[in-house]
Structure 1
Amino acid sequence: MTNKSLSANWQQQADRLIQQNNYSQAASLYEQAIETEPDVKSHYWHLGMLMVLQEQEAEAQTIWLMAMADGELEQIDQWTVELGQVLVAAAIHQTERENLAAAWALRRHLQEISPDDLNNRLNLVSLAIALENLTPNDLQETDIISLLKTSSDQLLEVPLLLHLLNQILTAFAPHPIALEFAEACLKWVSGDVMGLMTVMLPASIRIAHALRQPKFAAELLALYCRVDDQNIEILGHLSGFYQDADLYDLGIQTAQRRGGLPSSLLEQIFSSHLLLRGLMTPGGYWQEGLIAIQQHRQLLTALLETVPTIDIPPIEITRLLTSSFFLPYFKDDPKLNRSLQNQVAAWSQTALHQRASKQIVRYQSRSTPLIPSNSVRPLKIGYLSHCMARHSVGWLARWLIKHHDRSRFQLHGYFINDRKHDSLYQWYVNQMDHACRIGVEVPDSEDLAERIYQDDIDILIDLDSITLDLSSDILALKPAPIQVTWLGWDATGIPGVDYFIADPYVLPDNAQDYYTETIWRLPQTYIAVDGFEVEVPSLRRDHLDISNDAVIFLSAQKGYKRHADTAHLQMRIIKNVPNSYFLIKGSAEQDSIQQFFIEIALSEGVAPDRLRFLPETLTEGVHRADLAIADVVLDTYPYNGATTTLETLWMGVPLITRVGEQFAARNSYTMLKNVGIEEGIAWTDEEYVEWGVRLGTDAALRQQIHWKLRRSRQTSPLWNAAQFTREMEEAYQQMWIHCKQ
């Protein structure tokens, strides 16, 4: 047998032993090989590699040094290359077998003999992260970022770099080093923008929503835009992240940039929606918002003149379902607003059904419940939402969940956006008989709908309405035989939704004329709570430079509820109540909201020094405690408060609301009715101002309302969540019976 064939034979035997993790016997083979063929250097390379696998690294170094001791410089260089090849092959093999610690050890030795091998460095960092042996500081000390920035003459493995980028974003974001690494990657991956997008976009969505770090997510996508600034999908998310991070000017500019790109009508509508969101959320871009909403209506109307086709991308259909969100914030015209919303929702559902036709056929085959209406089996109630957490909806819906009769109802929770560090979220998860926690990185509505279908849910309760496109998409697929919208917003208009929960007051008598869903009116109220947690207040009159005998009016709402016409009415109240001040609070951009109110105050003859702009409080409990500083709360119109109204009434503070026709303009009205208060209910603009002046100047009347509200805690439907739950459960039972008929 020749030396070559002998070496090959030893190699084959050793490979078999390595596959069996029998490293010591494989090493013995190479020791024999060295005795037989002492001049064959590869035997030494393999023997040293096997020593590393047995954690005898000093011995490995000794074997390699001994083999190279008699070599010339050129020979040593060649042997080093050969040793490197053996270590790389062994490291790859160990990685494939998921022996990551062994692979890391092999690559660490490779770094010692080939310190300039950038690909090996990337592999080392990747393995260290996978082994959870690397911190952000450790990453900084590896010098990998500076090497990526300064090196240019290596054939770097781009898939490896993208894999490592994904690992670093997952492990370290929102630590600044993750952004530093992403920036260092750009020059290497500019030729693979699709690969870069595949890593950066899901990571940014997770960071923005699950980690609640939208500014970091925006910075990450802004880096992506350095190599691809025409990506319409990236620009859409970037605009949203800027807005969520209160960087409204950048959010608006990005939405405008997106809208200027050549795109389909559906993408133009989404760009328009993003622009509206950017203009309305800060609360100070009213005139620009009026122009934008008119253009948005025109785009939606143009869409309805087209016919849905099967080739529409799913994401464009999904986003369309939320595109009518801002309509009721501008005008109290439910017939007009709901007509447009209903048509858009129907168009979207038709397009969606064309794409998922097989799935829809299966769901429609179960259009009636599987069990008799008189069955003793508990009804399976599914609750679908991204808000079952520290959110307005989360604070309110918890009472229904708490008081549910578990002998009659089995609760399934479908949690969109897994919030592991949210205590109220965890409470909801624990309350459910079955909980399905869904991330948001790569949401698939068809998969989620299939989960609901496979769970045999009898009645699916949607808590989001059109505030979240993913839940709207699921409703349009109709995975449950009975689907109901409650609490989160107005009705969806989606044909797949059967019922909308209301009460005698929150919708006018003729509302069914313009709702596609059947309006199910509960006998007293569509919402009730047992109360709210209240902490220590953070506001004092002396800190606000307001005297004890002054009258304080307060409005605490999000920026997009700030309608200019209502702000004018509020200023007229302040003007006509001597020694009064107006406290303005809510999530908005401080500069724009201050300019908005100050301009209106001046136009109404109110000195700006009678206005106070309050920052957001750290917790909901502190916010509720701070409400007590107000003598009167002024509600918004045409979009009232909801949770804020309940909190105001719970704290015993008089409230003035302007009642309209749409659901959003009647929330405070139904809550006042259900707590036994008539004072402060205004049916016209004039009455709104009259009530403001009357309550502002009549301290005795304010005190009378305060005591009524305090006593109502023991008597009113609004504060009787157990009774409300029985009424909701009766509604579920009646829906079930009706579905069988």
Structure 2
Amino acid sequence: MRAPLSVQDAVALWRQNRLLEAESLLRAIIQANPTDPDALHALGVILLSRGDVAAAVPLLQRVVAAVPDAAEPLSNLGEALRLLGRLADARAVLERAVALDGARAASWNNLGGVLVELRLYGRGIAALRRALQLQPRLAEAQANLGVALRGMGNVAGAIDAFRAAIALAPHHVGASSGLLYALHFSDRHTPQQVLEEHRAWWQRTAASLDRPPPPRRRRGGRVRIGYVSPDFRDHVVGRHFACILPRHDRRRFEVFCYHAAPTADALTDALATAAEHWHDISAMDDESAAALVREHGIDLLVDMAQQTRGSRLLVFARRPAPVQAAHFGYPATSGLATMDWRVGDPILDPPGSESACFEKIVRLDRCWWCFEPEPIDLPTRGGKEILFGTLNHPAKCSPTILRLWSKILLAVPGSRLVMLGPDEPADARYQLDILGEAGVDEQRIILVPRMAQQAYMRQWGQIDIGLDPYPYNGHTTTLDALWMGTPVVSLSGASSVSRGGASILRAVGLERLATSRPEDYVRVAIELATDRDALSALHGSLRDRVARSPLVDCTGYTRSLERAWLQAVAG
């Protein structure tokens, strides 16, 4: 007679990718013995692996309560708490795990990942390097190291780390997306080189996927649009989308939203209320999510993340809709041969831009961005020294632009530069060293930490002149700066992401601040700093310029986007 099925049998099924059978067996074991820690742990890990994080956490907590000195359940619980955004709790749990078993590489990797998300980059890197000492071929630790280095602004180092992770695990989703996204920040790569990297990713990851023939476009009725995003929350993408979703013409469009993250906040709730159809796909695998889209008969499926964290591009790789497009994430290629369109505008994407992307480009008749400004008073200015500033992510501050900022600072006596820095000052050494090598005293650099939205807006109001980064311009940050009366000098390049500043400045009639040569960028910034009357006039007039511009006309933007969608659906 065969012995009763055991947890080991369930684990064997899991390793054969027979997840549903493994889960069913474990639930039967737990029903017979609700306190079996091995079964609870195995079920928690299976649920975690397939994205059902909320269900995994209580199971893992029961295991930890039953066997508090076991490092592996603590490590898995810490990872689950991280995915739910409970970073402080995750850190405490993972620090217990490494204290109990300092030789377990996975625990050090998970701890490093949490520290990186807490923006404690130096500490995170130390934990990740410990993981790699213990297990040199741990691709996940290499990928997390890439995220940490990018967070500190060391994009070249991040690219090397992501490549190392891909060499170990060619299909590692996070490493692949991390590499492709990081390349947009690099001042060492041309648009064609970036495109080739995306093409290599497509061939390696998505080209060989089984996909049924694309569904046919429905005839008659409203156009069914499906929006897919992990960022339906208080995030730049979520805030942008909140300007559009309530204004969609429901007589012509039926809107489906596919929420691809296990976390939610007040903006998530507001978007869910505004959508006609809301579906949480965070716990679905790509095949199941694609099947759901097909079942809904979506005419146009829109990706809102591209290669950023939480992206579900492999749903789009399965071609669940007859027409697929990318928008909202960032203005560049998705890397998918199954993505038909991406949205651009005439400045971001002049004629010929299609050569740097997989998709056809449907251009709005206005700027790519719109926003609903913060209700915040303008500041009172009057300081004697000129404050230049950038409140963009450190990854955007490339060596090329740091050296140009050095030239500006050295040419304007007494001026200082405000920069968004890591939470721990020691983690800013990469940028500070480049500025120092160019002759800028560290005392002229003011590092400010990431801050709440209102404080961030007020910080922009204290900066006299914004300096746009390069090659990945500030986008939402430029909108915020202009709203707070701070002019921004921008440098355009060969890529679409490097022309965001020019597009936004054109929308408010400040094309003269948009430059295309490094020497002009430096000259315009210096001239603006030395003509105090002209600068004061800009400070006083910018908010009115923005208020009268298309940038705040969310209804007009939505109508323009809808025309683009109809053009895409028509082919």
Q: Quickly name the TM-score band, shorter chain normalised.
A: 0.7 to 0.9
Residue pair 1:557, 1:587 contacting (<8 A) in 2 also: no
Tell me if 1:326 matches 2:182: yes
Residue pair 1:318, 1:470 contacting (<8 A) in 2 also: no
Tell me if 1:703 matches 2:536: yes
CA-CA distance at 1:173 after TM superposition: 8.3
CA-CA distance at 1:242 after TM superposition: 2.2
CA pair 639-466 structure 1, distance change in 2 beyond 3 A: same
Quick one: distance in 2 between partners of 1:419 and 1:161? Answer: 23
Tell me if 1:290 matches 2:163: no
| Counterpart for residue 328 of structure 2 | 487
1:479 is matched by which residue type in structure 2? P
Higher relative CO (Cα under 8 Å, sequence separation at least 6) belongs to: 2
Residue pair 2:345, 2:363 contacting (<8 A) in 1 also: yes
Quick one: distance in 2 between partners of 1:522 and 1:553? Answer: 32
Residue 614 of structure 1: which of 432, 448, 452 is its match? Answer: 448
Aligned partner of residue 501 in structure 1, secondary structure: strand
Quick one: distance in 1 between partners of 2:141 and 2:565? Answer: 39
Listed one character per residue, the Cα deviations across residues 433-492 of structure 1 (whole Å, up to 9, x for unaligned) are: 0111244xx552222222222111111111101103541221212211111111212321
Residue pair 2:163, 2:175 contacting (<8 A) in 1 also: no
CA-CA distance at 1:660 after TM superposition: 0.9
Residue pair 1:484, 1:500 contacting (<8 A) in 2 also: yes
CA pair 272-165 structure 1, distance change in 2 beyond 3 A: closer
CA pair 586-250 structure 1, distance change in 2 beyond 3 A: closer
CA-CA distance at 1:646 after TM superposition: 1.1
| Counterpart for residue 432 of structure 1 | 275
Q: Say which structure is richer in helix.
A: 1
CA-CA distance at 1:556 after TM superposition: 0.4
Tell me if 1:504 matches 2:346: yes
CA pair 207-161 structure 1, distance change in 2 beyond 3 A: closer
CA pair 162-576 structure 1, distance change in 2 beyond 3 A: same
Map 1:216-235 → 2, pairs under 5 A: 216-221=89-94, 223-224=96-97, 226=100, 229=103
Residue 406 of structure 1: which of 236, 244, 250 is its match? Answer: 250
Map 1:60-139 → 2, pairs under 5 A: none
CA-CA distance at 1:272 after TM superposition: 3.9
CA pair 568-661 structure 1, distance change in 2 beyond 3 A: same
Residue pair 2:162, 2:176 contacting (<8 A) in 1 also: no
| Counterpart for residue 342 of structure 1 | 199
Residue pair 1:585, 1:615 contacting (<8 A) in 2 also: yes
Quick one: distance in 2 between partners of 1:444 and 1:223? Answer: 31
Tell me if 1:241 matches 2:84: no
**Number of aligned residue pairs:** 532
CA-CA distance at 1:634 after TM superposition: 0.9
CA-CA distance at 1:424 after TM superposition: 1.3
Quick one: distance in 1 between partners of 2:214 and 2:54? Answer: 42
Map 1:420-499 → 2, pairs under 5 A: 420=264, 422-439=265-282, 443-489=284-330, 490-499=332-341
CA-CA distance at 1:405 after TM superposition: 0.6
CA pair 298-386 structure 1, distance change in 2 beyond 3 A: closer
| Counterpart for residue 549 of structure 1 | 384
Aligned partner of residue 181 in structure 2, secondary structure: coil
Residue pair 1:396, 1:643 contacting (<8 A) in 2 also: no
| Counterpart for residue 208 of structure 1 | 82
Q: After superposing the two structures, state which structure 1 stretch, 427-436 or 577-586, moved more.
A: 577-586
| Counterpart for residue 631 of structure 1 | 464
Tell me if 1:381 matches 2:381: no
Quick one: distance in 2 between partners of 1:321 and 1:605? Answer: 36
- The answer for unaligned runs of 5 or more in structure 1 is 1-94, 98-118, 127-156, 304-311, 542-546
Aligned partner of residue 511 in structure 2, secondary structure: coil
Quick one: distance in 2 between partners of 1:209 and 1:536? Answer: 37
CA pair 589-727 structure 1, distance change in 2 beyond 3 A: same
Residue pair 1:536, 1:622 contacting (<8 A) in 2 also: no
1:575 is matched by which residue type in structure 2? L
Quick one: distance in 1 between partners of 2:561 and 2:539? Answer: 29
Aligned partner of residue 543 in structure 2, secondary structure: helix
Quick one: distance in 2 between partners of 1:720 and 1:328? Answer: 29
CA-CA distance at 1:258 after TM superposition: 5.2
| Counterpart for residue 279 of structure 1 | 149
Aligned partner of residue 180 in structure 2, secondary structure: coil
1:615 is matched by which residue type in structure 2? P
Quick one: distance in 2 between partners of 1:330 and 1:406? Answer: 41
| Counterpart for residue 251 of structure 1 | 124
Tell me the C-alpha RMSD between the 2 structures. Answer: 3.6
CA pair 407-206 structure 1, distance change in 2 beyond 3 A: farther
CA-CA distance at 1:411 after TM superposition: 1.0
| Counterpart for residue 21 of structure 1 | none
TM value normalised by structure 2: 0.83
Residue pair 2:143, 2:174 contacting (<8 A) in 1 also: no
Tell me if 1:583 matches 2:418: yes
Map 1:39-50 → 2, pairs under 5 A: none
Map 1:719-738 → 2, pairs under 5 A: 719-738=552-571
| Counterpart for residue 374 of structure 2 | 533
- The answer for unaligned runs of 5 or more in structure 2 is 1-29, 48-52
CA pair 584-686 structure 1, distance change in 2 beyond 3 A: same
Quick one: distance in 2 between partners of 1:444 and 1:319? Answer: 19
Tell me if 1:599 matches 2:468: no
Residue pair 2:142, 2:164 contacting (<8 A) in 1 also: no
Quick one: distance in 1 between partners of 2:254 and 2:434? Answer: 52
Residue pair 1:443, 1:470 contacting (<8 A) in 2 also: no
Aligned partner of residue 325 in structure 1, secondary structure: helix
Quick one: distance in 2 between partners of 1:295 and 1:170? Answer: 31
Listed one character per residue, the Cα deviations across residues 354-385 of structure 1 (whole Å, up to 9, x for unaligned) are: xxx3xx22xx251x3132xxx2x111111111
Aligned partner of residue 679 in structure 1, secondary structure: helix
2:395 is matched by which residue type in structure 1? Y
Quick one: distance in 1 between partners of 2:373 and 2:251? Answer: 27
Residue pair 1:282, 1:589 contacting (<8 A) in 2 also: no
1:685 is matched by which residue type in structure 2? P
1:209 is matched by which residue type in structure 2? L
2:493 is matched by which residue type in structure 1? G
Aligned partner of residue 633 in structure 1, secondary structure: strand
- Pair member with larger Rg: 1
